[in-house]
Structures are given as C-alpha cells and as structure tokens.
Structure 1
Amino acid sequence: MTIDYFFYALLVLAGLLTLWLARRYMQERNYRRRPYVAPTAHNWASQPQPSRPPYHRVALLGDVGALTTDGSDPVLQLLEQWQQEAGPDGTVVLLGDNIYPVGLPAPYASGRAAAEARFNALLAALGRFEGRVVMLSGNHDWNKGRSDGWEYLRRQEAYVREHLPTAHYLPVDGAPGPISLQLAEGLLLIVLNTQWWVQNGPRPAADAWRPFRQLRALLQANRHQQVLVAGHHPLYSNALHGGKFTAKQHVFPLTTVNKRAYVPLPFIGSLLPLYRKTVGAAEDMAHPRYRRMRRRLLRVLHEFPGVIYAAGHDHNLQYFERCGGHYLVSGAGSKTAFVQAGGQATFVHEHQGFFGLDFYGPHETWLRTYEPPTGTPEVFRLQLSPGSSTAPEPAAGATDAAEVPRP
C-alpha cells in the first residue's frame, strides 16, 4: 500500500508540474520578445521631451563580444550612428564580456584568431568616435571566471592599450575599484570591477570590504553631482542570472548552457533551474559570493537616491527603480536571452540593443532605448527621477578613492 501511495503521489506531482509548465509556456508566448512596460510608466510616449540638446550623452553597451566582423553587425551600426550624433560630448561605456567565449586567448592558442577579429571590429568602430571610451571587464573576459582568468584579463587590457590607447580600461589590472572619471561638469562616472568578488584563482590583492567604504565616501563627496556607477553584474534582474527560466528550460535544461542542446529531461530537468535559483552557479545572484557582493553594494547605493547603476551580464534590456535609485541591465550587445515580464521591473525587452542616458542638467536625465534595425521607433524612454538627497559641494580631498584624470 505504501508503494501505491508513493506512486500515486508522484503521478499527482508530475501532473501538477505539467500543468504549471503548460501555463507558464502559454504566458511566455504572450510576452516573449515584446517590450514590457509597467503600468506606472504606460504614458512614457506622451512625456514632453526637452527642446534643447543634452550637455552630455552616454551609451551603455554590454556583452558585445559575439558581434559579427563583416561590417553588417546591427548593434555596431546603431552604435556608430549614436557616436556620430553624440560627437565629442559623448561617452561609450562597455559593460564587460567584450570578447566571447573566454576573453582573449594567448597568441597562437585555439580561438585567438576569432577573438582578435571580433575585438578588432569593435575597437575599429570605437576608434572612429570623437568622444570618450570606457571599458570594463566581465566574467567571460576572465576566461569565464576560471582560475587563470586574471591572465586573460591582463592580456585583454594590454591589447586595448596597444590598439586603442585613448580608451580607459578600468579598473586597471583587474583591481576591484572604485575608480572615478569626470565625464562633464556635474557628471561623474564610477567604475567597479564586480568580477573581482566572484572570481576564482589569483586576482589583485585587496580588502573585500574596503571598496564599499570607498564607494560610500565617494558618493557622499559627490552628492552635488549626477553619479553613474558601472559594473558588469546586475543588482536586479528578471533573467537567467536572477533565477528566471523559461518553461522550455525546465524540459530541456541543457539549453541554458547550449541553445542547441535539446535533450529532453522532463521533471528531472526542473532541478537545474531550482538549483540555480536557490544555490546558484558562480555567476548567478543566488551564489554566496555574488549574493554577498550584491547585498553590500545595495546597502551603499540605497543611501544615495538618484544614483544610476548600469550593468550587463544578462542578455536583454531591463530597467528598475528601487529605493530612489535607477538600475539598468544593458547586456544585449550581441546576444539575447529570456527575460520575464513584470515583477519589480519598469521595463524589460528581449531584444538586441543598448541603453543611452542623456544628461540635460543636475535634475534632468533621460533614459533611452536603442534597438536595431537603425531608424526603428523607440520602444521606451523615461525621464529619471533625481532622488531627494542633496548636499553642498564638499571640500577637495573628501575621499581616498582613485580618480582617473580627465584627458
């Protein structure tokens, strides 16, 4: 009798799981690859836009490492158009994962030629830009976080210094940061190397807590400015690294690693999404190292309303407003992946492209979406709330965080 009850319990459980997956699949069909805008921002298209030009513009482009090299890459074409419009009063920030799949291999190693070709196409486009270029690293640039990743990172940084010496590759030598860069009067960029906290193997020696103290001091000293913080790893996400999976990935779990790995593992396959949601791979929010970094970073950022934090890592476009701050995921530079609609997000879209920020003054910043093909209408834009925290300009030397001199 016990065996019969156990068998029937399994059948009931399997039936419930099947119904849940079927319902999830039908829901996903209704919104996948369509832009989602939260009800609170449904009037975005009717917001009056400034009639004057912005004093500075920033393009936030993440995970561009798999672009095509024959001149037909749609995101690269869109970026070059943006660069022409922005001119010298613009900054392009590359949010990491600049070369797929494992960064820049050693000379003559397998994969070096393909990696170099992709990177050269990117650097050539950036080299034609009149404005500033800032690059940071992601887990793929560190050989997917493996123990020899620091070697890969340093090789890529040296390659940039040789082939695009005007670019800022930050933080230098894989340090955690923070590093500050004055983009324009009243506009400060702070760069963090979030991979440092989740990296395996050798990395630059540093106190894991000190960067957060430095970041807090730097934000406190610059309350009079608009501050943009850039890192590779998101702090909010409705996508894979935030523990969100498609119904298909429950049945074909290996497709999370390789999109062509259609090996059916029904029911058993749900264990992988459950594991990544609760325990996490090294690059997931649920992983202990990532979770600690995220918690400490949010603890600092939540103290400073109006700060913008931009990341890549998940291959889609996402925007969240949380605790008075603005959190972007702009990792659709060369790949796309599932992102779940709703939740805490104001906007999400599973589509190639990138976010842009237009700065008009200390209390007027606009978020814009740029999606190929060139010339298509915007799917979302929004004036970002400035936050309620203000303070007079501090005296010089208020923080010991490193600063990059303006060229």
Structure 2
Amino acid sequence: MPTSLLLYGLLLLAGLLGLWLLLRHGQERRYRRLPYVAPPRRDWASQPLPTTPPRHRVALLGDPGAVATDGSDPILQLLEHWQRQTGPDGTIVLLGDNIYPTGLPAEGHPGRAAAEARFDALLATLGRFEGRVVLLSGNHDWNKGRPDGWEYLRRQEAYVHQHLPAAHYLPPDGEPGPISLQLAEGLLLIVLNTQWWVQTGARPAADSRQPFHELRGLLEANRHQQVVVAGHHPLYSNALHGGKFTAKQHVFPLTTVHKRAYVPLPFIGSLLPLYRKTVGAAEDMAHPRYRKMRRRLLRVLHDFPGVVYAAGHDHNLQYFEQRGGHYLVSGAGSKTAFVQKGGRATFVHEHQGLFSLDYYGPHQTWLRTLEPPFDAPEVFRLRLSSAPAAMPVTPAPPTQQT
C-alpha cells in the first residue's frame, strides 16, 4: 500500500507539473517577442520628446559579438544611422561580449579568422563615428571565464588599440576599475569590469572591496553631475542570468546551452533551471561570486538616486526603476533570448536593439529604445527622473582617462 501511495503521489506531482508547464507555455506564446510596459508607464507614447537636439547622446550596445560580416547586419545598420544622426556630440558604449564565442583567440587558432572577421566588421562601423567610443569586456571576451581568460582579454584590448586607436578600452588590462571618463559638461561615465569579480584563474591583483569604496567616492564627489555607470553584468534581470526560464527549457533543458539540443528530459529537466536559479553557473546572478558582487554594488548605487546603471549579458532589452535608480539591460546586439514580463521590470522586449540616453539638460534625460530597422516605430521611451542637483562639499577629483 505505501508503494502504491508513493506511485500515485508521483503521478499526481508529474501531472501537476505537466499542467503548469502547458499553462506557462500558452502564456509565453501570447507575449513572447512583444514589448511589455508596466501599467504605470503605458502612457509613454503621449509624452513628446523635446524639439531641440540633445546636447549629448549615449548609445548602450551589449553583446554584439556575433554580427554579420557581409554588410547586412541590422544592428550595425541601426548603429550607422544613430551615428549619422548624432554626429560628434555622442558616445557609443559597447557593454562587453564583443566577440563570440570565446573572445579573440591567438593567431593560428582555428577560431581566429572568424573572430577577426566579426570584430573587424564591428570596428569598421565604430571607426566611422565622429564621437567617442568606449569598449568594456564581458565573460565571453575572457574566454567564457576560463582560467586563461586574461590572455584573451589583453589580446582583444591590444587589437582595439591597433585597429581603432581613438577608442577607449576600459578598464585597462582587465583591472576592476572604476575608471571615469568625462563625456560632456555635467555628464560622467564610470566603467567597472564586473567580470573581474566572477573570473577564475589569473587576473590583475586587487582588493575585491576597494573598487566599491572608490565608486562611492566618485559618486559622492560628482553628485552635481549626471552619471552613467557601465558594467557587463546586470543587477536586475527577468531573463536567463536572472533565473528566468521558458516552459520549453524545463522539457528541453539542454537548449539553454545550445539552441538545437532538443533532447527531451521532462521533469528531470526542471532540475537545471532550478539549479541555475538557486545555485547558479558562474555567469548567473545566483552564483556566489556574482551574488556578492551584485550585493556590494547595489549597496553603493542605492545611495545615489538618479544614477543610470547599464549592462549587457542577457540577450534582450530591459529597464528597471529601483529605489530612484535606473537599471538597463541592453544585451541584444547580435542575439535574442527569452525575457519574462512583469515582476520588477518597467519595460522588457525580446528583440534586437539598443538603448540610447539623450541628455538635453541637467534635469532632462530621455531613455529611448532603438530597434532595427532604423525607421521602425519606437516601442518605448521615458523621461528619467533624477535626483536634485547638489554641489559637492569638496572639489571633485580629476577624472581618469585613457
């Protein structure tokens, strides 16, 4: 009898799980690849943009490492259009994962030619821009976080200095940062190498806590400025690295590793999403190293309302308003992946594209969602709230530039 009860219990559990997955799959089919805007912000289209040009624009593009090399890439075409519109009063920030799948291999490596071709196509587009270009590194640029990743990172940085010498590769030499760069009067960019905290193997020596003290000091000294903090890893996400999975991934869990790995593992397959949500692979928010970095970084940023934090990593577009701060995920530079609607998110879209920050004045910043083709209707924009300007008590230290 106990065995029969156990069997019936397992069958009931399997049936409930199967029903839940069917319901989830039906819901996902209705909203996937459609833009989601939280109810309080659904009047966004009624808010017109200023009629005067912005004083400075910042394009935030993450994970462009798999662009097409034949001139047909929609993101590169969109970026070209943005560059022509913007002119010299703009900055492009690449948020890491600049070369898929494993950064820039050594010369003679079988993957070197393909990596160079993709990176050259990206650098050629950036090279035609009149404004400033800033590149960050992501986990794929560090050979997907493997112990020899620092070599890959340094090789990529040297390649950028050789082929696009006017660009800034920050922080230099794989250091954690923070590094600051004055983009325009009253507008400061601060760059962190978030991969440093989750990387295994060799990396530049540094105290893991000191960068957060330095970041707090920079933000305190620059309260009178508008500030963008850029790193590769998101601090909020409704997607894979934030522990969100599709119903299909519960049944075919190996598709999270390779899109075409359709090996059915029903019920057992739910263990992988559960693992990545609670324990985490090295690139997931749940992983202890990532979790600790995120907690320390949020502890600082939550004390400075109005700051924008921009990241890539997840292959979609997401915007979160949390405790007066603005948190972006702009990782749809060459790939797209599932993103769950709702939760803490103000806006999400599973679509290629990028975010643009348009700065009109000290208290007027507009977040715009740009998606290919360049003449496509806008799916979301928002005037960002900012903290009241306050002059620092002591003079701000000079910003570092490379």
TM-score (norm 1): 0.98
RMSD, matched Cα:
1.0
- 1:70-85 equivalent positions in 2, closer than 5 A: 70-85=70-85
Q: Deviations over 1:343-362 (max 9, x none)?
A: 00000000001000000111
- Say whether the 8 Å CA contact 1:60–1:356 is kept in structure 2: yes
2:314 match: 314
- 1:14-53 equivalent positions in 2, closer than 5 A: 14-53=14-53
Gaps in structure 2 of 5+ consecutive residues: none
Q: Does 1:396 align with 2:391?
A: no
* 3-state DSSP of counterpart to 2:181: strand
- Say whether the 8 Å CA contact 1:306–1:386 is kept in structure 2: yes
* 3-state DSSP of counterpart to 1:14: helix
Letter in 1 for 2:400: E
How much has 1:48 moved relative to structure 2? 2.6
- Say whether the 8 Å CA contact 2:334–2:352 is kept in structure 1: yes
Letter in 1 for 2:377: P
Letter in 1 for 2:207: D
* 3-state DSSP of counterpart to 1:188: strand
1:352 match: 352
- Say whether the 8 Å CA contact 1:217–1:398 is kept in structure 2: no
* 3-state DSSP of counterpart to 1:326: strand
2:297 match: 297
Tell me the distance in 2 between the aligned counterparts of 1:192 and 1:392: 24
How much has 1:110 moved relative to structure 2? 1.3
Tell me the distance in 2 between the aligned counterparts of 1:179 and 1:108: 34
* 3-state DSSP of counterpart to 2:382: strand
- Say whether the 8 Å CA contact 1:325–1:387 is kept in structure 2: no
Tell me the distance in 2 between the aligned counterparts of 1:372 and 1:332: 11
Tell me the distance in 2 between the aligned counterparts of 1:256 and 1:242: 13
Tell me the distance in 1 between the aligned counterparts of 2:378 and 2:119: 28
Tell me the distance in 2 between the aligned counterparts of 1:397 and 1:99: 36
* 3-state DSSP of counterpart to 1:293: helix
Letter in 2 for 1:158: A
Tell me the distance in 1 between the aligned counterparts of 2:24 and 2:48: 37
Tell me the distance in 2 between the aligned counterparts of 1:249 and 1:392: 50
Q: Deviations over 1:161-220 (max 9, x none)?
A: 000000000000000000000000000000000000000100000000000000000000
Tell me the distance in 2 between the aligned counterparts of 1:48 and 1:92: 24
How much has 1:387 moved relative to structure 2? 2.6
1:277 match: 277
1:366 match: 366
Tell me the distance in 2 between the aligned counterparts of 1:383 and 1:326: 11
Tell me the distance in 2 between the aligned counterparts of 1:98 and 1:318: 19
Letter in 2 for 1:50: P
2:7 match: 7
1:150 match: 150
Q: Deviations over 1:216-272 (max 9, x none)?
A: 000000000000000000000000000000000000000000000000000000000
Q: Does 1:113 align with 2:113?
A: yes
Tell me the distance in 1 between the aligned counterparts of 2:209 and 2:297: 10
How much has 1:363 moved relative to structure 2? 0.7
Q: Deviations over 1:92-132 (max 9, x none)?
A: 00000000000000001010000000000000000000000
TM-score (norm 2): 0.99
Tell me the distance in 1 between the aligned counterparts of 2:18 and 2:278: 21
* 3-state DSSP of counterpart to 1:206: coil
- 1:322-341 equivalent positions in 2, closer than 5 A: 322-341=322-341
Q: Deviations over 1:302-324 (max 9, x none)?
A: 00000000000000000000000
2:88 match: 88
Tell me the distance in 1 between the aligned counterparts of 2:338 and 2:7: 35
Tell me the distance in 2 between the aligned counterparts of 1:78 and 1:398: 37
How much has 1:397 moved relative to structure 2? 5.2
* 3-state DSSP of counterpart to 2:233: coil
Tell me the distance in 1 between the aligned counterparts of 2:261 and 2:297: 36
Which runs of at least 4 in structure 1 moved beyond 6 Å after TM superposition?
none
Letter in 2 for 1:147: P
How much has 1:394 moved relative to structure 2? 4.6
Tell me the distance in 1 between the aligned counterparts of 2:376 and 2:397: 45
Letter in 2 for 1:10: L
* 3-state DSSP of counterpart to 2:345: coil
- Say whether the 8 Å CA contact 2:222–2:396 is kept in structure 1: no
1:125 match: 125
Count the aligned residue pairs: 402
* 3-state DSSP of counterpart to 1:346: strand
Alpha carbons of structure 1 residues 77 and 238: separation in structure 2 relative to 1, 3 Å: same
Tell me the distance in 2 between the aligned counterparts of 1:289 and 1:82: 36
Tell me the distance in 2 between the aligned counterparts of 1:395 and 1:362: 20
* 3-state DSSP of counterpart to 2:141: helix
Gaps in structure 1 of 5+ consecutive residues: none
- 1:179-194 equivalent positions in 2, closer than 5 A: 179-194=179-194
* 3-state DSSP of counterpart to 1:105: coil
Letter in 1 for 2:142: W
How much has 1:371 moved relative to structure 2? 0.5
How much has 1:398 moved relative to structure 2? 4.5
Q: Deviations over 1:358-383 (max 9, x none)?
A: 00111100000110112111000000
1:103 match: 103
1:255 match: 255
Tell me the distance in 2 between the aligned counterparts of 1:125 and 1:398: 34
- Say whether the 8 Å CA contact 2:91–2:133 is kept in structure 1: yes
